[in-house]
Amino acid sequence: MLRSLQGERVYVGRAASLSFLQLLRDTVTQHIGPSQFSHNVKLEDMLETEAPKNVSPGFEDQLDLQQRQALLRAYQIATRGFLYLMPDSELTQMLHNRRSDTGHAQHTTALLDVMIAIGAQSHKHDPTKVQIEHFFFARGQRRAFVSMLENPSLEMVSLFLLMSFYMLGACRRNAAFMYLGVAARAAVALGLHIDVSGSLPVSEQHRRACVWMSLCNLDLLVSSILGRPPATASLRSESGTSITEALQRNDLAEERLVALYNLAQILDETITRLYSEKAASAQVAESILEKLKRWSDGLPESLLAPPGTEQECLAAQDRVIGSLHIACSYHFAIIIVTRPFLISALGVRLARLHDSLAERNLSDVFSENPVHSRLALACTDSALYMLQTCLEIHRSHLLLGNMCIMKAFIFAAALVVGFSLFSQKDPNPDLEEAFTGAIDILHMFSQQSAQAGHYYEILSFLRNAIAEQRQRLSNQDQSSKSQYVSKLFSLNGRRASRQTEGAVTVNLATLTSPFDINSVPLEWEGMELPFWDSFPFTEETLPLQDRTSDMNPL
């Protein structure tokens, strides 16, 4: 449980990166002692920003049609794949008819307001864009609660979806989560989750399918990031395949939406079978990975094709960001499936590393399960591929200024890479470049996002912890080279005797060895998930010796 901005306790579940972060903090503490990474006075706080209090009035008449179109284009790029609520042609028509006084026009105006706010939010830091963002979101939000909340409609579901997406970018994740709940209940009231083929016009079926799949996509991603049960989990089975069949998939936007909708079903299964059960079975993980492989093999080539050289800049950026969202969602799903086994394998690896430094021979006890090691490698590789892809696009200057889902993906991948680096004695250039690249990207996002700034700070502290771990391992390795000679003089203090050095090494290995030797089984089929991931955010750091005696990874 964490504390919200108002001091309320809020739930963060086992699949969340924040839970993995806490385990990583405990591990780092056991190996190098207290550090900026592992000890923070705000460890139990969930970072959230306050709603802006002074919203500048009067932006309605200051934006001409061209400026509105540019912000709506930015909105479309920012939401590619995740949301597709209406065709581009319908969005253009809405923009031209926004001054109508009909009740329906009031609803569409609220939609346009929040879309414009998301477009302004996605720009790189610009004080004017920030004022535009705050003004249009506040007005759209006000209209949602005044005229729409009591009357479910497709526009209402779409509006609360958009407000949820905006809140993620504004570092107000609890509000985003609650808005998704409102959208989900309204969708159920409208029957978006059931098969209505044959009873409604084709155009109406198409619109309903787009809104429902957009809701499921965002609901599953936000819930998996926070480790909370999704609002649509029990409803998706009722829709069957008729939902995706309602789309003709005539353009890339629809193809992306369907691809991520199908991926969301696998992600939901992952959370249910690996994180909601007591044991994380390698057999279950491998079966889910096989489904992810079939999903990736079945993707249309058009979804991942690079933009043509003849495309103008915005069109190229649109295509690249859409492909990025698909690729990173896939890599994130792989990470979620395999992360429990990464913890198992790297825990053993760290134990063996310090065992060798202590000049003990316990390799038979600290033996890696080959299946777990294979799954752990998949976790690290997926995180590496995600960060390499993001870094490539970052260097091409195609990333937006604020990407609410991507910053969470990048943080999750960087924690995996950071854990791998911490458990290695020798440098790994590919992993180190990817880890540094993640920090650079989050630093860029931090100009517009407090959440990204928080992630940047955490990873910077983790980088320092990795450097300290490497230095300690190097020093211990140097001190154990020969029993006949010791370092005579150092500016860091008086020399230590060989006996003292040896004692320090042995004591360190004893203190940091993350397993109780007598309780480690040589083979195990499943892993107790609550053991690794239900500990988050306690006042005291639990010793790894106590926590790992039951062998319950993540």
pLDDT tens, position by position, 204-229: 888 999 999 999 999 999 999 988 88
* pLDDT top residue among 27 and 246: 27
Residue with tokens 């923009």: 95
User: Where is average pLDDT lowest: 184-193, 199-208, 428-437?
Assistant: 199-208
Q: Is 377 within 8 Å of 447 (Cβ atoms)? A: no
Q: Which residues contact 101 (CB under 8 A, 6 or more apart)?
A: none
pLDDT recorded at residue 111 = 94
How far apart (Å, rounded) are the C-alpha atoms in residues 294 and 134? 43
Q: Which residues contact 508 (CB under 8 A, 6 or more apart)?
A: 354, 357, 358, 472, 476
- The residue among 549, 535, 553, 550 whose CA lies nearest residue 26 is 535
Answer whether residue 354 shows pLDDT above 80: no
Q: How many CA atoms lie within 13 A of 431 on its CB side?
A: 23
- State which amino acid sits at residue 36: Q
Beta bridge partners of 2: 10
pLDDT recorded at residue 195 = 79
pLDDT recorded at residue 390 = 97
Share of the chain above pLDDT 70, in %: 76
- Triad 54, 96, 398: Cα angle to 5°: 65
Stated pTM of the model: 0.84
* pLDDT top residue among 370 and 500: 370
pLDDT recorded at residue 535 = 31
Q: Is 425 within 8 Å of 353 (Cβ atoms)? A: yes
Q: What is the SS3 assignment for 65?
A: helix
User: Where is average pLDDT lowest: 54-58, 129-133, 164-168, 415-419?
Assistant: 54-58
pLDDT recorded at residue 54 = 72
Mean pLDDT across the stretch 83-91? 90
Tokens describing residue 392? 């490539």
pLDDT band at 103 (very low <50, low <70, confident <90, very high): low
pLDDT, one tens digit per residue, over 270-309 is 988 888 766 678 999 999 999 999 999 999 988 988 887 7
Beta bridge partners of 10: 2
pLDDT recorded at residue 509 = 39
pLDDT recorded at residue 246 = 64
- Taking CA atoms, 389 is separated from 16, 30, 261, 331, 444, in Å, by 22, 33, 22, 10, 16
How far apart (Å, rounded) are the C-alpha atoms in residues 12 and 361? 40
Tokens describing residue 184? 């989900």
Mean pLDDT across the stretch 503-531? 38
